[in-house]
A and B are shown apart, each in its own frame.
Chain A
Amino acid sequence: MNRRAFLKTTGMALGALAAVRMPALAQGLEGEDLANLEKGLQAALGKGFKDLTPSDAVKLTMPAIAESGANVPAEVEVALPQGQVKAIHLFADKNPTPHLVAVQLMGGLPYYASRVRLAETTAVRAVVETADGKLLLASASTRVTVGGCG
């Protein structure tokens, strides 16, 4: 077996191992820090992580790997009628200030996109406040090579 083939097979084996092991972790997200996230949630919404409902209606688009943590595109789309979404929040678990942004929507479609700083490899959360007071959650994880907060 030459070097290239060896690397290929071991790489695949490691990848498969990681995929198998993922669900065993709390949520299977890289860069999770619930203690820090809880702090940010309490400060911004007065609610904790257990009050959030994971939802398929919320779509959070983040790159899997960000070259520079100083400029990471983030996009939130909500598949709900226009009037039902009151606000969209973004949180990053590992940032010194986990609360990234709060967007109040009064007349727009439920959509928000921006570019954010990530300090290190972190899980990113989109929290959507609906008109009937529910908090919907979508999570994604971004691997950061160069941090953007220090």
Chain B
Amino acid sequence: MAIRMLIRFTPAKPKAGEEYKFQVVAQHPMEPGTRKDAEGKLIPANYINLLEVYFEGQKVAEIRPGPSTSANPLFALKFKAEKPGSFTVKAKDINGDTGEAQAKLELA
């Protein structure tokens, strides 16, 4: 199943030269592998372990979360607004599921 992701910019339309926050929320249970179900059996680990952020095809950040990341995780980075363009985020979990999301950055 593909991983669903949402991208948001704060402020939504930054001015040129302004710093803005780039936030990604992924829909994922992020099982750390240490939790037990109702019968006391360990729930197998299943978490996103790689998140790549591209701006206009160029890689700007690579996030490697460990098992101790919350369910439906939020990842936030900061950038300086220089030119408008499109962001692409690629995610992969340890079971091989992948997800991709895109968002366009517009300048005010």
Contacts and interface: CB of A to CB of B under 8 A. Distances in A.
Interface of A: 70-72, 75, 82, 92, 95-97, 99-109, 111-119, 148-150
Interface residues of B, number: 32
Closest 5 CB pairs of A and B: A107-B60, A113-B76, A111-B78, A115-B70, A109-B78
Given A106-B62, A109-B19, A109-B79, A97 B74 contact: no
A97 B21 CA distance: 28
Q: Is the interface of B mostly helix, strand, loop or mixed?
A: strand
A96 B62 contact: no
A100 B34 CA distance: 14
A101 B70 CA distance: 12
26 contacts: A71-B70, A75-B76, A96-B68, A97-B66, A100-B65, A100-B66, A100-B68, A101-B65, A101-B69, A102-B63, A103-B64, A103-B77, A106-B58, A107-B59, A108-B77, A108-B78, A109-B19, A109-B80, A112-B63, A113-B76, A114-B69, A114-B75, A116-B68, A116-B70, A117-B67, A148-B70
